[in-house]
């Protein structure tokens, strides 16, 4: 959360908007119901967000951790679609520079790690 809040204040809005295609790819993968495809789209989005920090080690560690916690089974397609929608909501909050909402969304997203 602290890294993302720091990025929320320092990354230009245009850079956040550039991540929209990754969030949309996640929605498409989630809608397909294919957990493997969604897992890769999800990790790509997270790598891109954390990549804006310039900290390669953080990106690698987070990606490895995320790969380990992603479950091949779950509650189904709705679970994936909900997770993908969180990425879109987060981008909207980042673009709007709404730090309070960014914090709430990030905490909820990581609190619901599947």
DSSP 5: H
Could you tell me which CATH class the domain 2-111 is placed in? mainly alpha
pTM of the model: 0.87
Long-range residue pairs from 57-64, CB within 8 A, at least 24 positions apart, any chain? 58/3
Convert the pLDDT of each residue in 59-78 to its tens digit: 999 999 888 877 655 556 66
* Integer CA distances (angstroms), 1 to 27, 38, 77, 78, in order: 23, 23, 27, 25
80 vs 67: CA distance, rounded Å? 15
Convert the pLDDT of each residue in 28-67 to its tens digit: 999 998 889 999 999 999 999 999 999 999 999 999 988 8
Of the candidates 34, 36, 42, the one whose C-alpha atom is nearest the C-alpha of residue 90 is: 42
- Which residue ranges make up each domain of the chain? 2-111
11 vs 61: CA distance, rounded Å? 22
């Amino acid at each position: 959360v602290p890294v993302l809040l720091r990025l929320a204040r320092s990354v230009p809005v245009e850079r956040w908007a550039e991540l929209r295609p990754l969030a949309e790819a996640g929605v498409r993968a989630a809608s397909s119901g294919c957990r493997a495809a969604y897992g890769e789209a999800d990790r790509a989005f997270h790598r891109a967000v954390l990549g804006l920090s310039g900290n390669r080690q953080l990106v690698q560690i987070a990606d490895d951790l995320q790969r380990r916690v992603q479950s091949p089974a779950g509650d189904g397609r709705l679970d994936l679609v909900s997770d993908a929608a969180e990425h879109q909501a987060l981008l909207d909050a980042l673009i709007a520079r709404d730090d309070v909402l960014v914090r709430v969304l990030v905490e909820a997203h990581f609190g619901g790690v599947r």
